[in-house]
C-alpha cells in the first residue's frame, strides 16, 4: 500500500493479499486507503452517465498511459485537496469525519460526439466531463477539483443554499479555496478553459470582470438566470478575498494585504462556524469579521483588512 503520489498517481493495492474482495490481486487501482477515509478512489464513466463507473486499473502501477491521464489528474487532485483541508485546516475529508471520496471522470459524452463541458459535486461524489475540446479540455485540473470538493465541504458545513446571494457565496467559497489549493495564481480553470486560447481563464479573482462577473455589490445581477447569478455575483466575494490576499486600492478604498495564509484561515472559520444556509453578502461580512476577531482580535490589522475589503466591493 503506497499512500504517496508516485508521480503518476496514488495507488494502493500493490497486489497485497489483504485486499477487499472486489479488487483483484496483481492489479493496481486509483484507490487510496492511507489517509484516514476508507478510500479516496477515482473511476471512469467511460463516456456514459452511470455512476460511479468502473475502476481505472494498471498492471505495473505506472499510470502513465495517455488514456489514464484524465483519471490520474482527478485522483491526484482529490488527494491534494484532501491533504490541504487536513493540513491547513485540520479537517479530515469534506465532512470533517473522514468521509470516503469518490471521483468519476469521462462522464456523459455526447454519443459519437463531444465530451461534457462541466464538472460537479452531486451530493455524494465528484463528477467530471471530458470537455468538448473547444470550450474545455477535460475538466480535471487542480483548481477545478478543489472547487468541486469545496462544494462538498460547504454542503457539510454552512450548507449555503445554491441560489441568489447565498448561492453566490457558495460559488465564491469554492473559487476561493480553489486558488488556495492551486496556489500559483488567482484564476480558476486556466488549464482547461479554451484549449485553443492561451493566457485566459474561466474566472479571475483578481479581476472578476475579465470573466464577465461584477466586482462590486452595486453591479450585482438580480435576475433569475444561473440560479439568481450564483456564478455571476460570486465575483463580488471573490474580489473581496483577492483584496485580502494581495491588497490594493480598489474604487478608492485601500486594503492592506494579509496574504493567503490569513485569508484562508478567516474564510474557513467563517464558513464552518458562522455562515448558515441563508447567509447573504452582509452576513458574509459579519461572519468573516467575527472570524478575524476570533483569530487575531477585533482591533487587529487583519480584521481591518477584512472590513476594508468588503467596503471596497460595496458591502457594509
Ligand X SMILES: O=C(NO)[C@]12CC[C@H](CC1)C2
Only segment of 62-70, 80-88, 139-147, 281-289 that touches ligand X (CB under 6 A): 139-147
From Ca ion, Zn ion, ligand X, none, interface partner of 182 (C-beta below 5 to 8 A by class): Ca ion
Nearer to Zn ion (CB atom), residue 174 or residue 233: 174
Kindly state the smallest distance separating residue 268's Cβ from ligand X, in Å: 19
- CA of 220: how far to CAs of 116, 229, 230, 280, in Å? 29, 8, 10, 13
231 near ligand X, judged by CB under 6 A:
yes
119 is a contact residue toward ligand X (CB under 6 A)? yes
Residues 6+ apart with CB under 8 A from 274: 286, 287, 288, 290, 291
Closest distance to ligand X from the beta carbon of 86 (Å): 23
Q: Does 9 bind ligand X (CB under 6 A)?
A: no
What single-letter DSSP state applies at residue 101? E
Residues numbered 143 to 162 that lie near ligand X (CB under 6 A) are 144, 147
Is there a contact between 3 and 30 (Cβ–Cβ < 8 Å)? no
3-state secondary structure of 54: strand
| Cα gap 84→42, rounded to integer Å | 18
Q: 200 contacts which partner out of ligand X, Ca ion, Zn ion, none, CB within 5 to 8 A by kind?
A: Ca ion
- Compute φ and ψ for 130, nearest 5 degrees: -90, -10
What residue ranges bind Zn ion (CB under 5 A)? 174
Q: What is the SS3 assignment for 120?
A: strand
Which one from 75, 89, 141, 148 is the annotated catalytic residue? 148
Active site residue 231: yes
Q: Is 171 assigned a catalytic role?
A: no
Q: How far apart are CA 299 and CA 173, in angstroms?
A: 25
Among candidate residues 49, 274, 32, the one with its CA nearest the CA of residue 158:
274
Output the residue with the shortest Cβ distance to Zn ion. 174
Q: Count of residues binding ligand X (CB under 6 A)?
A: 9
Of 118 and 257, nearer to ligand X (C-beta) is 118
Interacting residues of 183 by C-beta distance below 8 A, sequence separation 6+ = 260
Return the number of the residue (38 or 212) whose C-beta is nearest Zn ion. Answer: 212
**CB-based contacts of 297, cutoff 8 Å, min separation 6:** 303
Evaluate whether 212 touches 229 at the Cβ level (below 8 Å): no
Q: Cell match 468521509: residue?
A: 99
With CB under 6 A as the contact rule, the residue among 139, 158, 180, 309 that binds ligand X is 139
The active-site residue, picked from 75, 147, 151, 231, is 231
Pick 32 or 171: Cβ nearer ligand X = 171
| Positions in 96-155 near Ca ion (CB under 5 A) | 143
Contacted by 29, from ligand X, Zn ion, Ca ion, none: CB < 5 to 8 Å by type:
none
| 118 forms part of the interface with ligand X (CB under 6 A) | yes
Q: Round to whole Å and give the CA distance between 3 and 163.
A: 38
The CB-of-232 to Zn ion minimum distance in angstroms stands at: 12
Candidates 49-57, 146-154, 157-165, 177-185: pick the segment binding Ca ion (CB under 5 A). Answer: 177-185
For residue 84, with 0-12 CB atoms within 10 Å meaning exposed, 13-18 middle and 19 or more buried, which class applies? buried
Nearest to 262 by CA among 176, 189, 184: 176
Interacting residues with ligand X between 30 and 69 (CB under 6 A): none
Active site residues: 148, 231
Interface positions with Ca ion (CB under 5 A): 143, 182, 185, 187, 193-194, 197, 200
Interface positions with ligand X (CB under 6 A): 118-119, 139, 144, 147, 171, 189, 202, 231
Amino acid at each position: 500500500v503506497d499512500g504517496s503520489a508516485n508521480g503518476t498517481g496514488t495507488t494502493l493495492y500493490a497486489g497485497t493479499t489483504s485486499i477487499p474482495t472486489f479488487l483483484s490481486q496483481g492489479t493496481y487501482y486509483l484507490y487510496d486507503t492511507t489517509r484516514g477515509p476508507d478510500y479516496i478512489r477515482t473511476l471512469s464513466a467511460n463516456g456514459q452517465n452511470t455512476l460511479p463507473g468502473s475502476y481505472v486499473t494498471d498492471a505495473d502501477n505506472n499510470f502513465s498511459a495517455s488514456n489514464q491521464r484524465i483519471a490520474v489528474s482527478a485522483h491526484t487532485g482529490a488527494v491534494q485537496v484532501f491533504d490541504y483541508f487536513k493540513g491547513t485546516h485540520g479537517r479530515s475529508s469534506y465532512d470533517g469525519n473522514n468521509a470516503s471520496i469518490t471521483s468519476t471522470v469521462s462522464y456523459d459524452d455526447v454519443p459519437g460526439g463531444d465530451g461534457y463541458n462541466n464538472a460537479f459535486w452531486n451530493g455524494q461524489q465528484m463528477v467530471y466531463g471530458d470537455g468538448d475540446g473547444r470550450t474545455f479540455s477535460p475538466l480535471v485540473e487542480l483548481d477545478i477539483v478543489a472547487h468541486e470538493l469545496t462544494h462538498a465541504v460547504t454542503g457539510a458545513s454552512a450548507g449555503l443554499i445554491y441560489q441568489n446571494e447565498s448561492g453566490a457565496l457558495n460559488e465564491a467559497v469554492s473559487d476561493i479555496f480553489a486558488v488556495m489549493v492551486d496556489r500559483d495564481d488567482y484564476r480558476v480553470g486556466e488549464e482547461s478553459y479554451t484549449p485553443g486560447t492561451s493566457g485566459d481563464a474561466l474566472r479571475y479573482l483578481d479581476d472578476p470582470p475579465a470573466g464577465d462577473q461584477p466586482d462590486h455589490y452595486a453591479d450585482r445581477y438580480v435576475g433569475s438566470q444561473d440560479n439568481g447569478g450564483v456564478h455571476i455575483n460570486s465575483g463580488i466575494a471573490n474580489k473581496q478575498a483577492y483584496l485580502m490576499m494581495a491588497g490594493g486600492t480598489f474604487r478608492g478604498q485601500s486594503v492592506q494585504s494579509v496574504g493567503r495564509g490569513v485569508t484562508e484561515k478567516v474564510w474557513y472559520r467563517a464558513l464552518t462556524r458562522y455562515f448558515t444556509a441563508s447567509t447573504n453578502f452582509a452576513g458574509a461580512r459579519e461572519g468573516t469579521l467575527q472570524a478575524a476577531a476570533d483569530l487575531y482580535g477585533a482591533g487587529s490589522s487583519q480584521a481591518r483588512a477584512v472590513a476594508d475589503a468588503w467596503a471596497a466591493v460595496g458591502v457594509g
